[in-house]
Amino acid sequence: MTAMVMPGDEDVRVTTLPSGLRVVSERMNHASTVSLGVWIGAGSRDEATNQHGLAHLLEHMAFKGTARRSARQIAEEIEAVGGDINAATSIEYTCYTARSLEEDLPLAIDVLADILLNSSFAADELAREKGVILQEIAAVEDTPDDLVYDMFMARVFAEQPLGRPILGTPETVGSFDADAIRAYLAEHYTAGNMVVAAAGAVDHATLVALSESAFAALPRSAAARPIHVPASYTGGETRRVVRTDQSHLVLGFRGAPFTGGGHYPLQVLATVMGGGLSSRLFQEVRESRGLAYAIDAFHWAFTDTGVFGIGAGAAPKDIPELVRVAMHCLRDAGQTVTEDEVQRARAQMKVGLLGALETPGGRVEQLARQVLTFGRVISRGEIAARIEAVTAGDVRAAALGVLASPPTLSMVGPKIRPGDLKLADLTASGAH
């Protein structure tokens, strides 16, 4: 068993158990509750074609009964002590979380271990939960501002696991049985691919002892970073015509992964472009032209790739002009971003970061994801220094870099008149 203190965060502890399971915690002296979770380095991009939606179904089924507890008992035992329990599936991770008082940490860990190691996957529960997920899929289809992002990712990473919707499809979800779930568990839910994390009112030595006992039956494997199916940006265009009063669009370009140094300039660029009332897109699209109520920019980084994008909703007649203005703003950023803009963006990012980490729930997620992705916890000071090191030149270069990639355009709404908006127009060098 190895343990270490992370420099810059003296209350952070990381221990690797002999099984390969990593345990990370941060004592937050102001907190009276503890946020706890188990993170697995596998999400929707780790599914084979015939497993599409299986990671999400497994997350749902974990709460539907074990050899020791019924679904009702799982909920009642945690809530009887004032706590709560939840789970989430993302593209690269799956997590199971709980919150409780410090004295109820043994119960919280026992329940999490029970649902991860002893779930029964009863046929009647599986049938019911498939129905619930089919309703989730239908809800996305009925929500244009959600659907447009699913379509966007499917076009950005065409025919690749990274681009598939997390929920799966009615066909794939309907095909899964208990054996398929157990096979996915055996492949991905191993000690070295998992992290137990806690933040708040927690003692690290106690957490380690409880984790070692509760997760003793986990299949052993060496602690390592998750290995995901490699992804490649493709780009292109996808549109769906629906009868709505507003059109929703996402315009995107190739981004950068978490590693390699390109992530932070693109995050600053996203803030300069769409982060707040002073951002370029808000001022030009909303304030100067009144083309949209809301418009934002984002950079989504993954372990091996990333995507930069702009999202908005607008009246159908205004969509062509909105896209042209957004492209002009991005091209202009590649030439004219100033140090004042970058300083403002850096300040916004640092306040947002530190604000999110003031709560046990925000901190525990960051701890777990950093240990899985980087094999260590990155201190607040190191993150702040990396943000502060980004210059206006870096941001201008980042803007020019994304523009050098093929664009991606995703739209949901009434049909745009032929000729009003073509993907080829987005690569033109002229400004609006």
CB environment 215-244: b (16+ within 10 A), e (fewer): beebeeeebeebebeebebbbeebbeeeee
What does the alpha-carbon distance between residue 47 and residue 96 come to, in Å, rounded to a whole number?
A: 19
CA dihedral 178, 183, 184, 186 (to 10 degrees): 120
Place of tokens 């997760």: 215
What does the alpha-carbon distance between residue 46 and residue 184 come to, in Å, rounded to a whole number?
A: 10
Encoded amino acid at 287, one letter? E
Question: Choosing from 26, 47, 59, 365, which is the catalytic residue?
Answer: 59
Would you call 237 a catalytic residue per the annotation? no
CA atoms within 13 Å, Cβ hemisphere of 421: 23
Structure tokens at 24: 């990370």
Tell me, letter by letter, the H, E, C secondary structure of the chain: CEEEEECCEEEEEEEECCCCCEEEEEECCCCCEEEEEEEECCCHHHCCHHHCCHHHHHHHHCCCCECCCCHHHHHHHHHCCCCEEEEEECCCCEEEEEEEEHHHHHHHHHHHHHHHHCECCCHHHHHHHHHHHHHHHHHHHCCHHHHHHHHHHHHHCCCCHHHCCCCCCHHHHHHCCHHHHHHHHHHHCCHHHEEEEEEECCCHHHHHHHHHHHCCCCCCCCCCCCCCCCCCCCCEEEEEECCCCCEEEEEEEECCCCCCCCHHHHHHHHHHHHCCCCCHHHHHHHHHCCCCCCEEEEEEECCCCEEEEEEEEECHHHHHHHHHHHHHHHHHHHHHCCHHHHHHHHHHHHHHHHHHCCCHHHHHHHHHHHHHHHCCCCCHHHHHHHHHCCCHHHHHHHHHHHHCCCCEEEEEECCCCCCCCCHHHHHCCCCC
Could you list the active site residues? 59
